[in-house]
Amino acid sequence: MLKWITGLVAGLLLANSSAAMDTAGDWHGELNIQPGVSLPLVLHIGGSEPDWQVSLDSPNQGAFGIPGRAEKITDTRIKVKFAAIGAAYEAALENGELVGTFTQSGKSFALTLARQSEEGKEKAKQAAARPQHPEAPFPYTVEEVSFPHTSGAFEFAATLTLPNGKGPSPAAILVSGSGPQDRDETLMGHKPFLVIADHLTKAGVAVLRFDDRGTAQSGGTFAGSTIDDFSTDVESAFQYLLTRDEIVPQKIGLIGHSEGGMTAPLFAARQPQVAFVVLLAGLGVDGTTLWAEQQRDMAEAYGLPNDESIYQAMRVFARQVIAGDSPQAIEQNLLSKGYDKATAQQYVKAVANDWGRSFFTYQPKQVLPKLTMPVLALNGEKDLQVAAVSNIGGMKAIFANSGNQDVTLKTLPDLNHLFQPAESGLPDEYGRINQTFAPQALAIISEWIQQRVGD
């Protein structure tokens, strides 16, 4: 997925301090990132000297138990750090509240925390619920499998779900979005690929989902890989399914989400044996345009000024990355456009690399016309990361001249980038939504696939 937010991890820590029962407990508050934008945080201080246990929750991001280290805990003051997210919090106890400063990535924010009530804890629990996540026992077969990369250099760890009853079955390979993703495409407590796999397998379609290279239990190295490299990972999964007797070899298709809507078509364009392609928030515009639109639309949604200036600045940024300009030159140009140093460095670190060049130079008009198999493309109306208007519009224009007579393009009302029912469509809303993947979108996908490869 084209991620705008940073993933978080869980754990706990040990620290030392004096007895500090007045500051121990569960504390909650709102981190005001900018006007109109806040992020709920919950700080947990437990245990006792010398074994304090400190952790942080970011419920809206689906992150709980972020490990910390207590540098100082007394009856009136605390100082804790969270190395996993590069953050720290220092505060004093004033009138029953922790009043202090939260710092992350070189930026500081005032943050006041109050004790979390039992009612607040229950609300937090309800907000973290993910009712669509299936639980065992399952009405189908679940196999933990592995398969080699086509190069033979490493292996992928994966889950294959097979429908009960007579086989062999059609199958779908799930292809994840940008960044290192596990096989469930876990984000903010949501597991969309788990939900999709469960739905499709119940509908009679086998599903293979795998940990990205260098991620979770898969081998290989993620850093430095390009979208072309990732397309060979899709090829590896496809070749593996061809070895399974439970699968009809002529009925193996691909379902790619976000960046997976680039890597899946890249492979399908050179393998006409692929039975179908489903693009979820896939691209109909080039990578540079997508990037610039994404940054502009996010800025506008957050109420930031000069959104068109942001669009132009991001196009220049992409051109510099494509040209191979030095990190220093790219950073300096961002600074000249009004970006602060911490933000400029984050952009450079995340995107000014081989992956960024491969992403920015992606041209769907060169790839999509090569897809001769049935294609379904779905985009959410409120998607701010891959805008439906430009991308569905772009695909419509591309496929109109492709000769492919089986192309279905749909914009789904009120859904965001994760295909959740949304209000704003902003990424910081993802974790607040209990639903993982809209049932109407699941139904469209399964019915469309069954019409093409079902019995």
User: From residue 199, how far is each of 140, 213, 248, 382, 408 by CA, in Å?
Assistant: 11, 25, 19, 23, 21
Q: Which of 89, 104, 127 is the last residue of a domain?
A: 127
Quick check: is 433 in a domain? Answer: yes
Total count of domains within the chain: 3
- Per DSSP, the residues of 310-369 read HHHHHHHHHHHHHHT--HHHHHHHHHHTT--HHHHHHHHHHHSSHHHHHHHT--HHHHGG
Check pLDDT > 90 for residue 131: yes
Same domain, 260 and 341: no
Helix 341-351 to helix 307-323 angle, to the nearest 10 degrees? Answer: 50
Domain that holds residue 425: 140-286+362-453
Domain CATH for 388: 3.40.50.1820
Same domain, 279 and 412: yes
Quick check: is 230 in a domain? Answer: yes
Domain CATH for 102: 2.40.128.120
Burial classification of residue 182, based on how many CB atoms lie within 10 Å of its CB (0-12 exposed, 13-18 middle, 19 or more buried)? buried
Please list, residue by residue across 411-430, b when 16 or more beta carbons sit within 10 angstroms of its beta carbon and e when fewer do: bbeebbbbbbbbeebbbbbb
Quick check: is 5 in a domain? Answer: no
| Predicted local distance difference test score (pLDDT) of residue 315 | 97
* Amino acid sitting at position 85: I
Quick check: is 102 in a domain? Answer: yes
Distant-in-sequence, close-in-space partners of 251: CB < 8 Å, separation ≥ 6: 169, 170, 171, 275, 453
**Distance, CA of 423 to chain centre:** 19
Q: How far apart are CA 145 and CA 160, in angstroms?
A: 7
pLDDT by residue (tens digit) across 358-393?
999 999 999 999 999 999 999 999 999 999 999 999
> Is residue 383 classed as helix, strand or coil in its secondary structure?
coil
pLDDT by residue (tens digit) across 67-102?
998 898 888 899 999 998 899 999 999 988 999 999
Same domain, 114 and 155: no
Same domain, 367 and 349: no
Of the pLDDT bands very low, low, confident and very high (cuts 50, 70, 90), residue 21 is low
Is this model's pTM higher than 0.85 or not?
no
Q: Which of 329, 357, 385 is the last residue of a domain?
A: 357
Same domain, 278 and 200: yes
Quick check: is 276 in a domain? Answer: yes
- Per DSSP, the residues of 125-160 read HHHT--TTS--SSPSEEEEEEEEE-TTSS-EEEEEE
For residues 96 and 88, the answer to whether their CB atoms sit within 8 Å is no
| Predicted local distance difference test score (pLDDT) of residue 36 | 63
Quick check: is 376 in a domain? Answer: yes
Q: How far apart are CA 27 and CA 21, in angstroms?
A: 13
Tell me the CA end-to-end span of the chain in Å, nearest whole number: 32
Of the pLDDT bands very low, low, confident and very high (cuts 50, 70, 90), residue 49 is confident
Q: Which of 324, 357, 390 is the last residue of a domain?
A: 357
Same domain, 368 and 272: yes
Q: How far apart are CA 448 and CA 386, in angstroms?
A: 22
Burial classification of residue 37, based on how many CB atoms lie within 10 Å of its CB (0-12 exposed, 13-18 middle, 19 or more buried)? middle
